[in-house]
């Protein structure tokens, strides 16, 4: 069996380290790709240190789930992806070796797209997990349930009269949520964020930006929308902090709070909403609602190609090594939300002839030459990690119980074997009482 170098999690709470793993064969609907770019996300820190998503039960684990790469092989029932195509994709969350911290990985073609010619591979790494998460929050039953723009259902939906508030607008998911709301044509997009990011947020599509430190946030929101607000998307807050988000909802109309950070439910009595409200936990997986995931990935490429959706800013660091990656993960524990993308190329980042487009690089650095024995590609995931206005980034996982359907799935183990499991909570996870999703053990339960 052909092996590769991987930077893997071998023990929960310990630093990632280099090991050898098999190069997996693509199964049905899968692409085997050679990774070109990947980025790190605060979610990886929680997987490394806390074993989130049940990784303690399926080590060694390869992290980083926003992945860009070149197709080298296709599995059965795949079309539209020629060998050599540059694709971006959300890593397969229920495979222990589904991340981007390795030379090759497999991705699900149904939740992948060709990188448009007008953006770079580096830029494409911004999108997979965060944009899927925000799309689920706005346009699926996990969240507000508005129709996905571009679908037949959207033709008769009046987006212009809709009003939404995004709390934590300075996070990556917040910014991408703003972009998606603008693309949909939502008429009022109010963002709660640091005013240091106001210009960027308005450029992305926000109609109003309210300082997150303001003592009168509720009053400012009600001055703009009266008692008509029924949609609040909170990318940032947890537990009692969510009372602010709920306070913004209408008192006379039943509203929806879509939240990203898992935790205890909002205290309904403390919220004091006469008409009530629904609290929905968003789980940022393309496969959480498969039909939605397939439709969304088709729309995403069109929006990028047309320029309707813009990449966010990120930094670029030198080639992948265990010390640097673990340092980034350590920084996430302190709330440092800088996004870092790591390309596979051994050339300078300034030499972008291989990706033929300007990028959204915020910081440029040189990538040293790598030996043939060195980890040569890039890490894989963007996520909610670009916190340019000082807000902590958010882990956007976890699902809403009533939206989960049970089906048969498979766990990809590090030895290349498949083990059948039941899957819930999107992809082979159990929904725990605290709203977390735990990977099922090999026996299925």
pLDDT tens digits along 215-237:
999 999 999 999 999 999 999 88
Which residues, in sequence order, are CB contacts of 294 under 8 Å at separation 6+? 110, 111
For residue 260, what is the enclosing H or E element?
Answer: none
Is pLDDT at 29 greater than 50 in this prediction?
Answer: yes
Token representation of residue 109: 């073609």
CA distance 235 to 168: 5
Kindly report which listed range (277-291, 329-343, 357-371) carries the lowest average pLDDT score.
357-371
Is pLDDT at 350 greater than 50 in this prediction?
Answer: no
Residue 31 contacts residue 56 (beta carbons within 8 Å) = no
Q: Tell me what pLDDT residue 120 has.
A: 92
Residue 116 contacts residue 127 (beta carbons within 8 Å) = no
Residue 148 contacts residue 154 (beta carbons within 8 Å) = yes
DSSP string for 304-350: HHHTSS-PPPEEE-SSP-HHHHHHHHHHHHTT----EEEE--SS-TT
- Pinpoint the alpha helices (H) of 143-241: 172-184, 198-204, 217-225
Work out the percent of the chain whose per-residue pLDDT is above 90.
56
Q: For 42-54, write each residue's pLDDT tens digit.
A: 888 889 999 888 8
The DSSP bridge pattern shows strands 104-108 and 30-39 to be: antiparallel
Q: Tell me what pLDDT residue 339 has.
A: 78
pTM of the shown model? 0.78
Q: Tell me what pLDDT residue 401 has.
A: 30
Is pLDDT at 363 greater than 80 in this prediction?
Answer: no
Q: For 401-444, write each residue's pLDDT tens digit.
A: 333 232 323 333 333 333 222 332 344 334 333 334 443 332 22
Token representation of residue 398: 């976890």
* Stronger pLDDT, 350 or 102, i.e. the higher one: 102
CA distance 382 to 329: 13
Confidence at 197, pLDDT banded by 50, 70, 90: very high
Is pLDDT at 372 greater than 70 in this prediction?
Answer: no
Give the orientation angle of helix 128-139 with respect to helix 172-184, to 10 degrees.
50
Residue 368 contacts residue 345 (beta carbons within 8 Å) = no
Q: 353-362, 364-373, 398-407 — which one is most confidently predicted on average?
A: 353-362
Q: For 242-253, write each residue's pLDDT tens digit.
A: 888 999 999 999
For residue 424, the cross-strand partners are 429
385-410: b (≥16 Cβ within 10 Å) or e: bbbbbebbbbbbbbbbeebbeeeebb
Q: Work out the angle at residue 408's Cα, subtended by the Cα atoms of residues 263 and 439, and round it to the nearest 5 degrees.
A: 30
Q: Tell me what pLDDT residue 375 has.
A: 25
Q: Tell me what pLDDT residue 349 has.
A: 32
For residue 22, the cross-strand partners are 3
Query: Span 271-293, mean pLDDT?
Result: 89
CA distance 355 to 334: 34
Q: Which residue, among 85, 35, 70, has the nearest Cα to 319 in the 3D structure? A: 35
Q: Tell me what pLDDT residue 270 has.
A: 66
DSSP string for 370-409: --TTS--S-----TT---TTSPPP-------GGG---EEE
Token representation of residue 425: 């909570």
CA distance 258 to 268: 15
Q: Tell me what pLDDT residue 92 has.
A: 92
Q: Tell me what pLDDT residue 320 has.
A: 67
Confidence at 259, pLDDT banded by 50, 70, 90: very high
* Stronger pLDDT, 277 or 409, i.e. the higher one: 277
Query: Span 96-103, mean pLDDT?
Result: 90
Q: Tell me what pLDDT residue 348 has.
A: 30
Q: For 78-93, write each residue's pLDDT tens digit.
A: 999 999 999 999 999 8
CA atoms within 13 A of residue 388's CA, in its CB half-sphere: 20
Q: For 298-317, write each residue's pLDDT tens digit.
A: 999 999 999 999 999 887 87
Q: Tell me what pLDDT residue 437 has.
A: 41
Q: Tell me what pLDDT residue 35 has.
A: 93
Backbone angles phi, psi at 364, to 5 degrees: -110, 140
Work out the percent of the chain whose per-residue pLDDT is above 70.
76
Judged by DSSP in three states, 48 sits in helix
CA distance 136 to 234: 13
Kindly report which listed range (1-5, 194-198, 378-382) carries the lowest average pLDDT score.
378-382
């Amino acid at each position: 069996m052909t092996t590769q170098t991987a930077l893997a999690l071998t023990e929960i709470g310990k630093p990632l380290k280099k090991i050898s793993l098999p190069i997996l064969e693509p199964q049905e609907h899968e692409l085997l790709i050679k990774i070109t770019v990947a980025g790190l996300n605060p979610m990886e820190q929680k997987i490394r240190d806390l074993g989130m998503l049940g990784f303690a039960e399926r080590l060694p684990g390869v992290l980083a789930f926003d992945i860009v790469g070149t197709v080298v092989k296709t599995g059965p029932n795949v079309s539209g992806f020629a060998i050599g195509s540059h694709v971006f994709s959300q890593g397969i969350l229920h495979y222990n070796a589904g991340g981007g911290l390795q030379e090759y990985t497999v991705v699900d073609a149904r939740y992948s797209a060709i990188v448009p010619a007008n953006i770079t591979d580096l830029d494409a790494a911004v999108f997979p997990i965060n944009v899927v998460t925000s799309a689920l929050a706005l346009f699926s039953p996990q969240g507000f349930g508005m129709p996905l723009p571009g679908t037949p259902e959207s033709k008769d939906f009046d987006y212009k009269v809709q009003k939404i508030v995004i709390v934590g607008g300075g996070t990556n998911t917040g910014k991408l949520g703003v972009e998606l709301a603008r693309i949909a044509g939502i008429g009022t997009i109010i963002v709660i964020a640091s005013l240091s990011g106001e210009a960027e947020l308005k450029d992305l599509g926000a109609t109003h930006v309210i300082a997150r430190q303001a003592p009168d946030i509720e009053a400012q929101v009600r001055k703009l929308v009266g008692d008509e607000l029924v949609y609040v998307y909170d990318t940032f807050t947890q537990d009692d902090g969510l009372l602010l988000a709920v306070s913004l909802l209408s008192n006379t109309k039943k509203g929806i709070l879509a939240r990203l950070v898992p935790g205890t439910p909002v205290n309904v009595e403390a919220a004091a909403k006469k008409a009530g409200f629904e609290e929905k936990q968003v789980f940022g997986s393309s496969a959480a609602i498969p039909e939605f995931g397939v439709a969304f990935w088709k729309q995403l490429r069109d929006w990028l190609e047309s320029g309707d959706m813009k990449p966010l800013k990120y930094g670029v660091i030198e080639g992948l090594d265990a010390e640097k990656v673990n340092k980034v993960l350590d920084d996430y524990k302190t709330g440092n939300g800088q996004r870092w993308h790591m390309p596979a190329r051994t050339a300078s980042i300034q030499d972008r002839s291989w990706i033929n487009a300007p990028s959204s690089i915020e910081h440029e650095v040189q990538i040293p030459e790598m030996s043939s024995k060195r980890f040569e590609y890039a890490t894989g995931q963007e996520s909610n990690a670009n916190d340019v206005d000082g807000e902590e980034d958010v882990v956007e996982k976890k699902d809403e119980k009533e939206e989960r359907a049970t089906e048969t799935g498979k766990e990809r183990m590090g030895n290349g074997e498949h083990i059948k499991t039941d899957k819930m909570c999107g992809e082979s996870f159990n929904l725990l009482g605290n709203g977390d999703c735990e990977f099922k053990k090999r026996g299925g339960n």
